[in-house]
């Protein structure tokens, strides 16, 4: 593995200010003057968190690249700590624009307009922690993510997420994915309660349903719609509305 260069060499302008926080304030034109910026004690040139007074937003995290000059951001919701926005840029002024907008409570779409490098994850803010809204936000993220994937299984994942979302019995549950598996929960994050069957992508035109079968050796289907229909049959009767996963 290549040893990363000294951050003072990669970011001489930041080093001149002593920290990423100070450099960010310097390029923000006063917009971050009264904002709480927190710098890692042992890596002041590489990271900073930008405070936000809104309880439904966590501080924005800004991280500097180790091998090339760039900054990445991550803005998460206050309850689940799932990213609402992210993005990477080599322009610190753009980072400052996004940071100020995040702190000021600017709508997510307007943050992207102010700083075009910002990527919207598909999740939207649910300040009142309404579980139904959080379920819809999670689905919108999965639909967005599936449309943006860039690998050979993208069509299969798109088809599976869309087919599951189109099924009312699954759409009202909280969805989550991991390693090509789509599962459903009766509780939001962080206290998930997975229910019924999980859907597994085995390749293009190959889907399986995992619901207590030994070694995950469940039935295999060639279409997402067939797999989704099988998953619905494994749901327990009388599913209750999704609850907040406290």
* CA dihedral of residues 31, 34, 35, 41 (deg, nearest 10): 120
By the 8 A CB rule, do 146 and 108 touch?
no
Q: Convert the pLDDT of each residue in 223-244 to its tens digit.
A: 999 999 999 999 988 767 899 9
- Judged against a pLDDT cut of 90, whether residue 246 lies above it is answered with no
Q: Domain residues of the chain, as ranges? A: 7-120, 131-245
Distance (Å, rounded) from C-alpha 173 to C-alpha 40? Answer: 38
What pLDDT sits at residue 243? 96
What pLDDT sits at residue 214? 41
What mean pLDDT is reported for the chain?
Answer: 93
What pLDDT sits at residue 73? 98
Q: Convert the pLDDT of each residue in 160-198 to its tens digit.
A: 999 999 999 999 999 999 888 999 999 999 999 999 999
Compute the average pLDDT of residues 209-218.
Answer: 63
Share of the chain above pLDDT 70, in %: 96
Distance (Å, rounded) from C-alpha 151 to C-alpha 237? Answer: 37
Compute the average pLDDT of residues 195-209.
Answer: 89
Q: Convert the pLDDT of each residue in 128-153 to its tens digit.
A: 999 999 999 999 999 999 999 877 67
Minimum mean pLDDT range among 34-48, 68-82, 206-220 = 206-220
What pLDDT sits at residue 216? 52
Strands 198-203 and 181-185: antiparallel
What pLDDT sits at residue 213? 47
The model carries a pTM of 0.93
- Judged against a pLDDT cut of 90, whether residue 1 lies above it is answered with no
What pLDDT sits at residue 22? 98
What pLDDT sits at residue 237? 85
The counts of H helices and E strands in the chain are 9, 13
Band of the pLDDT at 217, cuts 50, 70, 90?
A: low
């Amino acid at each position: 593995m290549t040893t990363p260069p000294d951050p003072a060499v990669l970011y001489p302008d930041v080093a001149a200010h002593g920290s990423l926080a100070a450099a960010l304030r310097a390029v923000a034109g006063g917009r971050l003057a009264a904002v709480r910026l927190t710098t890692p004690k042992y890596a002041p040139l590489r990271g900073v968190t930008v405070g936000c007074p809104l309880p439904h937003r966590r501080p924005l995290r800004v991280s500097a690249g180790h091998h090339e000059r760039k900054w990445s951001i991550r803005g998460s919701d206050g309850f689940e700590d799932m990213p609402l926005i992210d993005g990477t840029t080599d322009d610190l002024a753009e980072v400052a624009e996004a940071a100020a907008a995040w702190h000021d409570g600017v709508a997510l779409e307007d943050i992207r307009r102010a700083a075009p490098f910002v990527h919207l994850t598909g999740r939207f803010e649910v300040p009142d922690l309404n579980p139904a809204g959080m379920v819809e936000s999670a689905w919108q993220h999965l639909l967005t993510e599936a449309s943006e994937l860039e690998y050979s299984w993208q069509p299969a994942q798109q088809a599976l997420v869309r087919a599951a979302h189109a099924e009312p019995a699954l759409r009202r549950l909280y969805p989550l994915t991991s390693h090509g598996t789509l599962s459903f929960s009766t509780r939001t994050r962080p206290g998930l309660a997975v229910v019924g069957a999980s859907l597994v992508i085995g390749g293009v035109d190959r889907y399986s349903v995992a619901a207590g079968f030994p070694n995950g050796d469940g039935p295999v289907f060639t279409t997402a719609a067939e797999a989704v229909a099988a998953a619905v049959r494994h749901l327990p009767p009388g599913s209750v509305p999704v609850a907040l996963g406290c």
